[in-house]
């Protein structure tokens, strides 16, 4: 569990770091080859965390807790108990199926974050222009101009 939580915290921190750095870096500043190499290594490590380490640590954690085909998920108060075991639910759900569903959801979230972070990085110049336009030049009296005279 400690390894999974550590991997999750590092992954969230690295993902948030992209958004923080995108707000600080000017869009018109050219990228040096060193910055490009560091950026590509950063993104490569983030992809390894998203699609490799994080799901693996989750699977290792829940496997050590006994999530397998022999345990059935019945929910709180046995509300999801299958008909085969005397309940009302039409099919049985194993903990192994829940584990796999959680891993698939994690991959879907990671796949959704890929274009979101890329678009956020690519549109940082447009956000800077919008912020600059919102802070209009003040008039001679120090108040913001409402309209041009």
Map residue 4 onto helix, strand or coil.
helix
* Whether residue 133 has pLDDT greater than 90: no
The pLDDT tens digits of the residues spanning 90-104 come to 888 899 999 999 999
What residues are paired with 138 via a beta bridge? 144
Average pLDDT, the chain: 88
Domain ranges of the chain: 2-27+36-122
Q: What is the mean pLDDT of residues 15-25?
A: 93
Q: Which pTM does this prediction carry?
A: 0.78
Which tens digits make up the pLDDT trace of 34-53? 999 999 999 999 999 999 99
Residues with Cβ within 8 Å of 82's Cβ and at least 6 positions away in sequence, in order, are 72, 74, 89, 90, 91, 92, 93
Which tops the pLDDT comparison, 24 or 107?
A: 107
């Amino acid at each position: 569990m400690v390894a999974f939580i550590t991997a999750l915290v590092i992954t969230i921190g690295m993902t948030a770091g992209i958004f923080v750095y995108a707000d600080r870096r000017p869009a018109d500043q050219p990228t040096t080859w060193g910055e490009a190499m560091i950026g590509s290594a950063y993104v490569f490590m983030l992809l390894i965390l998203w699609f490799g380490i994080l799901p693996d640590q989750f699977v290792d954690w829940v496997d050590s807790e006994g999530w397998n085909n022999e345990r059935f998920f019945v929910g709180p108060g046995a509300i999801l108990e299958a008909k085969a075991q005397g309940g009302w639910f039409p099919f049985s759900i194993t903990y192994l199926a829940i584990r796999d569903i959680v891993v698939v959801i994690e991959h879907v979230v990671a796949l959704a974050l890929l274009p979101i972070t890329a678009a956020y990085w690519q549109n940082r110049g447009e956000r800077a222009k919008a912020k600059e336009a919102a802070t209009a030049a003040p008039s001679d009296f120090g108040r913001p101009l409402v309209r041009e005279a």
